[in-house]
Amino acid sequence: MSTQTSGVINFKKVDDIINSCGAKKSNLIAILQKVQDEFRYLPQDAITYIGTKIDELSPATVYGVATFYAQFSLEPKGKYEVKCCDGTACHVRGSMPVYTYLTQRFNLQEGKYTSDDGLFSVETVSCLGACGLAPVVVINGKVYPQMTTDAIKIIIDTIIAEENEG
Amino acid sequence: METEVKKLDIDIEQERQKAVELIKKQGLRVLVCNGTGCIANGSNEVMEKFRELGADVSILSEHDKMTTVPTGCHGFCEQGVLVIIPDFDITYVKVKPDDVEEIVNSHIKDGKAVERLLYTDPKTGNHVYKNEEINFYAKQTRTSLKNCGEINAECIDEAIAVGGYRALAKVLEQNNPEAVIEEIEKSGLRGRGGGGFPTGRKWRFTAANRGGKSYVVCNGDEGDPGAFMDRSVMEGDPHKLLEGMAIAGFAIGADEAYIYVRAEYPLAIKRLRIAIKQAEEKGFLGKNIMGSGFNFDIHIKEGAGAFVCGEETALIASIEGERGMPRPKPPFPANCGLFGRPTLINNVETLANVPAIIDTGAQWFSSFGTETSKGTKTFALTGEVNNTGLIEVPMGTTLREIVFDIGGGIRNGKKFKAVQIGGPSGGCLTEEHLDLPMDYDNLIKAGAMVGSGGLVVMNEDTCIVEVARFFMHFTQNESCGKCVPCREGTKNMLKILEKIVRGQGEMKDLDTLEELALAVKEGSLCGLGKTAPNPVLSTLKYFRDEYIAHIKDKRCPAGVCTALKVIKINEELCKGCTKCARNCPVGAIEGTVKNPHKINQEKCIKCGACISACPFKAISQA
């Protein structure tokens, strides 16, 4: 077990994931997806570990794949993952004001996607395929249709209120 | 090649009869749309309510039972949640959980339709009862979307009851792969994913390598922003896709297949998994299908968010577990594709058209469409149009019919400006194209393309230059970085466009844009780069004056570009109430009580807070 100071990860979990998917290069993306589900991001150690564990791969290759796909994050995501759709339909119907509201509220900027309390991470995604309901925001898999700055404010307020109660 | 007719160990017609009987036992079928759109509008709660009330059998006068059926997308997402009761020939729109009781009590029990939940025709103001009489549906011809919204996607019997797997049984029985390819060739079906390559020819190329291991790959990486037809098919009628893939596999001699689905479509992934399992249990997939000796396994691969993976060679790289970067062609996937083996790659909608072509015949299919583009095409109609949603029309339908008849015109009585078709690879069409029959070749001639079929309607309030910047931002972001012209070219084109929307553009920038566009088009390996400049080129062609307004007059005609907005206070209307100054987040408004105020343009961030705060409507944006 690694004895790093910053967040020791559970390698047993990574092992289980590799075994359940099959230790093959063609399963790499699926493995990374499951690791990210487990840790809410891809810890550096996990990347190195997968790269040494699967014969056909090196840590550099795994890192290359992990940084290529938009879905993977090398830094921890928030407890609530907010995805603002900025597909064409959402864009022309005003997705940017909603996104700007969120970044301002959580004090985010280029390179910083997670709020300081670790509760929210905000990103734009290109088209969730719910264009009929534009603009759309998805929070932890739940789709919120026809968003406005007022509507998203209420949703975020509600989540924070629930968090404070719980 | 052996072509003798085979005796299958199941009779598909008998299976269908059995399934129909099963469905009859459901009693009164209440179809509740359960597509992504309607789920977001609360369709699960609506279903729950129907089930709760349906359990009380005494309310059902004629029918001894009522079954709530979750279906795939009806396409009319704008009006969700949609509830259809086929026995009553009625469609309810915008149904909320609280409305369910009224539908049950008034309509199901007493036979009186609930008028307030009917669709109202925006032109006549009349209530519309029947689905097919709603203008949105009336002009459509649904082939690939046929069962979406009519069946429960998570129940294979519902698919079988409407003829599912009949075409597969037919080809297995006839046992003549060559005849299948011929039929697809005759139908004139062309790839629905964007390129428009003749599907039959692609099948023939791949089949030429018959003998060893080969694969069928279904491209479900629907990355074009503004397109969601493939999602609807996968969510609403997954068995049609599986059947189409199995037929393709039989025709080209493949025994294994992959469906590559974007990770943004979790519901599609879930429903496909269920469908594959059910089909295997029935013996319609897996080993020795229907006793024919034909084996066919389908796996699902989830994407991880990369637009370029919609390109076939990049998609193959991604399935293999690599960075999704395109490879040079040749070799074409038909010769050397997935894991180095011959591979047939078709898009979801293409494959979903296959069962109907085999079942009903190539001649029927090719009776729709134009000379060079046969059949029907789905379009995702979105943006500033009254009826947004998913539609399917014969190829060659005009833009006017789509936007003004099916789409019901521009919302809020605004003026039509342009349509962006084909996503980031496509182009803009303007008023002069409204009567152009839309097919592959006509659109290419107009500087656009069918692409995946995303149709984003824009009105007078949309800034075309901003839209071009938006698409360039998208492609620049999604460029995989392999080819220098695409990687650097898109970046520089984006820089120029950003400069123009900031009001810092120069006239010579337009020439540079065109020069770069050409370099990116010529110098890129894959479709992403080859088409990335299209939105810029087509908007430069049709809306050059808007670019010039941004550059020369420092003015955004649509009033969208923030940097070019000027917010002013009308001194005659201003009463000096100070409300605006108090609401301004940056302290840009100066003035004393009861005297007209002024905005310091250097400080102003154009947020518009003052406009909404002013009780005298004295502030406006120019």
Question: What string of DSSP letters covers B214-258?
Answer: -EEEEEE---STT--HHHHHHHH-HHHHHHHHHHHHHHHT--EEE
Out of B226, B265, B322, name the one closest to residue A88 (CB): B226
Surface-to-core class of residue B304, CB atoms within 10 Å of its CB (0-12 exposed, 13-18 middle, 19+ buried):
buried
The residue written with tokens 């084996």 in the block is B295
Which is nearest to A45 in space by CA: A25, A16, A74, A67?
A: A74
Question: Is the confidence at residue B1, as pLDDT, over 70?
Answer: no
Strand B297-302 vs strand B343-347: parallel, antiparallel, or unpaired?
unpaired
Out of A131, A136, A143, name the one closest to residue B380 (CB): A131
The answer to whether B104 and B98 have CB atoms below 8 angstroms apart is no
Query: A88–B383: do the CB atoms touch at under 8 Å?
Result: yes
Higher pLDDT, A54 or B195: A54
Question: Is the confidence at residue A2, as pLDDT, over 50?
Answer: no
Nearest C-alpha of chain A: how many angstroms from B325? 9
How many residue pairs bridge chain A and chain B with CB atoms within 8 Å of each other?
Answer: 140
**Which CATH code, of 3.40.30.10, 3.40.50.1980, 3.40.1390.30, 3.40.1160.10, is assigned to A80-165?**
3.40.30.10
Q: pLDDT tier at B281 (50, 70, 90 boundaries)?
A: very high
Query: B321–A29: do the CB atoms touch at under 8 Å?
Result: yes
Contacts of B388 in chain A (CB under 8 A): 89, 131-132, 134
- Specify the pLDDT at position A84: 94
Q: pLDDT tier at B472 (50, 70, 90 boundaries)?
A: very high
Contacts of A88 in chain B (CB under 8 A): 225-226, 382-383, 420, 423, 454, 456, 467, 470-471
Q: Is B470 on the interface with A (CB under 8 A)?
A: yes
Question: Is the confidence at residue B33, as pLDDT, over 90?
Answer: yes
Out of A71, A92, A128, name the one closest to residue B384 (CB): A92
Q: What is the mean pLDDT of residues B309-318?
A: 96
Q: What is the mean pLDDT of residues B220-238?
A: 91
Q: Is B321 on the interface with A (CB under 8 A)?
A: yes
Q: In chain A, where are the structural domains located?
A: 11-68, 80-165
- In the stretch 75-104 of chain B, residues with CB closer than 8 A to chain A read 76-78, 80
**Strand residue runs (E) in B414-508:** 416-421, 427-430, 454-459
Rounded Cα distance, A23 and B334, in Å: 28
B79: nearest CA partner in chain A: A132
Q: Is B131 on the interface with A (CB under 8 A)?
A: no
Q: pLDDT tier at A89 (50, 70, 90 boundaries)?
A: confident
Rounded Cα distance, A26 and B427, in Å: 36
Higher pLDDT, B109 or B619: B619
pLDDT in tens, B501-559: 999 999 999 999 999 999 999 999 999 999 999 999 999 999 999 999 999 999 999 98
DSSP H or E segment with residue B379: strand B376-383
Peptide bond before residue A43 is cis, with ω within 30 degrees of 0: no
Mutate to test the interface with A, among B36, B391, B459, B586 (most CBs of A within 10 A): B36
Rounded Cα distance, B320 and B309, in Å: 12
Nearest C-alpha of chain B: how many angstroms from A49? 17
pLDDT in tens, B135-190: 889 889 999 999 998 999 999 999 999 999 999 999 999 999 999 999 999 999 99
Nearest C-alpha of chain B: how many angstroms from A93? 7
Question: Is the confidence at residue A3, as pLDDT, over 50?
Answer: no
Residues of A with CB under 8 A from a CB of B: 24-30, 32-33, 64-65, 68-72, 86-93, 125-134, 136, 141-145
ipTM: 0.88
pLDDT in tens, B203-216: 999 999 999 999 99
Rounded Cα distance, B326 and B333, in Å: 12
Rounded Cα distance, B330 and B314, in Å: 14
Tokens representing B50 are 């129907």
Question: Is the confidence at residue B2, as pLDDT, over 60?
Answer: no
Contacts of A90 in chain B (CB under 8 A): 225
- Specify the pLDDT at position B404: 94
Query: B228–A28: do the CB atoms touch at under 8 Å?
Result: no
Higher pLDDT, B6 or B316: B316
Query: A68–B323: do the CB atoms touch at under 8 Å?
Result: yes
- Measured at the CA of B421, the angle between CA B420 and CA B423, to 5 degrees, comes to 90
Distances in Å between the Cα of B39 and the Cα atoms of B46, B53, B74 are 9, 20, 12
Q: What is the mean pLDDT of residues B308-327?
A: 96
Strand A120-125 vs strand A137-139: parallel, antiparallel, or unpaired?
unpaired
Query: A69–B390: do the CB atoms touch at under 8 Å?
Result: no
Tokens representing B37 are 């759109």
Q: pLDDT tier at B3 (50, 70, 90 boundaries)?
A: low
Tokens representing A45 are 């150690």
First to last CA, chain B: 74
Query: B318–A93: do the CB atoms touch at under 8 Å?
Result: no
Nearest C-alpha of chain B: how many angstroms from A135? 10
Rounded Cα distance, B598 and B606, in Å: 14
Query: A143–B480: do the CB atoms touch at under 8 Å?
Result: no
Mutate to test the interface with A, among B456, B472, B479, B561 (most CBs of A within 10 A): B456
pLDDT in tens, A44-60: 999 999 999 999 999 99
Which is nearest to A83 in space by CA: A136, A150, A159, A151?
A: A136
Query: A143–B388: do the CB atoms touch at under 8 Å?
Result: no
Radius of gyration of chain A (CA): 18
Nearest C-alpha of chain A: how many angstroms from B3? 36
Higher pLDDT, B622 or B273: B273
The answer to whether B12 and B169 have CB atoms below 8 angstroms apart is yes
Whole-number mean pLDDT of chain B? 92
Question: Is the confidence at residue B80, as pLDDT, over 80?
Answer: yes
Nearest C-alpha of chain B: how many angstroms from A3? 30
- Tell me the sheet residues that pair with A80: A120
Q: What is the mean pLDDT of residues B324-348?
A: 96
Nearest C-alpha of chain B: how many angstroms from A63? 10
Distances in Å between the Cα of A78 and the Cα atoms of A93, A100, A114, A120, B509 are 27, 18, 6, 4, 41
Surface-to-core class of residue B6, CB atoms within 10 Å of its CB (0-12 exposed, 13-18 middle, 19+ buried):
middle
Which span out of B5-14, B20-29, B491-500 was modeled with the highest average pLDDT? B491-500
Query: B225–A126: do the CB atoms touch at under 8 Å?
Result: yes
Out of B321, B324, B462, name the one closest to residue A92 (CB): B462
Helix orientation angle between B238-252 and B266-282, rounded to the nearest 10 degrees: 60
- Specify the pLDDT at position B587: 85
Out of B39, B225, B389, name the one closest to residue A132 (CB): B389
Rounded Cα distance, B489 and B532, in Å: 10
Query: B223–A127: do the CB atoms touch at under 8 Å?
Result: yes
Question: Is the confidence at residue B225, as pLDDT, over 60?
Answer: yes
Question: Is the confidence at residue A1, as pLDDT, over 50?
Answer: no
Q: pLDDT tier at A6 (50, 70, 90 boundaries)?
A: very low
First to last CA, chain A: 34
Rounded Cα distance, B390 and B398, in Å: 16
Lowest mean pLDDT among A85-89, B169-173, B396-400, B405-409: A85-89
Rounded Cα distance, B429 and B26, in Å: 48
B232: nearest CA partner in chain A: A129
Identity of the residue numbered B415:
K
Query: B40–A133: do the CB atoms touch at under 8 Å?
Result: yes
